[in-house]
């Protein structure tokens, strides 16, 4: 089955700095990689996704990169704001497996 490893488990940055979260997966057949944001007391919400036919995708301050050869993908958040504070999950959704999550704290 699919294993998804996510690092780091916690990340604290100063407002305005960048944050990077990395995930690796094991199943080379995976072709869809979403990132979810979970705020306190809420369900996870999709913030960006990438499919295996592209290497990078950007949406304003959020970007995702994918390296299929190395089987890893990363979330990049630039110019972080306090409202970015949340738990972020990656997934290699071929088998509905999620990473363990990264708790991001953005200090004002």
Shortest Cβ distance from residue 17 to another protein (Å)? 26
Report how far apart, in Å, the C-alpha atoms of 38 and of each of 29, 65, 77 are.
27, 20, 15
Residues 26-85 close enough to bind another protein by CB under 8 A: 30-32, 34, 36, 41-46, 49, 51
Q: Of 18 and 45, which has the nearer Cβ to another protein?
A: 45
Nearest to 87 by CA among 9, 1, 3: 9
- The binder of another protein chosen from 26, 57, 65, 95 (CB under 8 A): 95
Is there binding between residue 21 and another protein (CB under 8 A)? no
Q: Are 64 and 50 in contact (CB under 8 A)?
A: yes
User: Contacting another protein (CB under 8 A), which of 16, 56, 100, 107?
Assistant: 100
Question: Considering the rule CB under 8 A, would residue 96 count as an interface residue with another protein?
Answer: yes
Q: Which of 40, 25, 38, 28 is nearest to 74 (CA)?
A: 25
């Amino acid at each position: 089955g699919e294993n998804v490893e996510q690092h780091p488990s916690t990340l604290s940055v100063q407002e305005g700095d960048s944050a990077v979260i990395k995930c690796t997966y094991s199943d080379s057949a995976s072709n869809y990689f979403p990132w979810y944001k979970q705020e306190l007391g809420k369900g996870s919400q999709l913030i960006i996704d990438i499919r295996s036919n592209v290497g990078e995708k950007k949406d304003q301050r959020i970007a995702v990169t994918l390296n299929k050869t190395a089987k890893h993908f990363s979330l990049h958040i630039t110019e972080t704001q306090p409202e970015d504070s949340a738990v972020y999950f990656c997934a290699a959704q071929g088998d509905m497996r999620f990473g363990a999550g990264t708790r991001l704290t953005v200090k004002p």
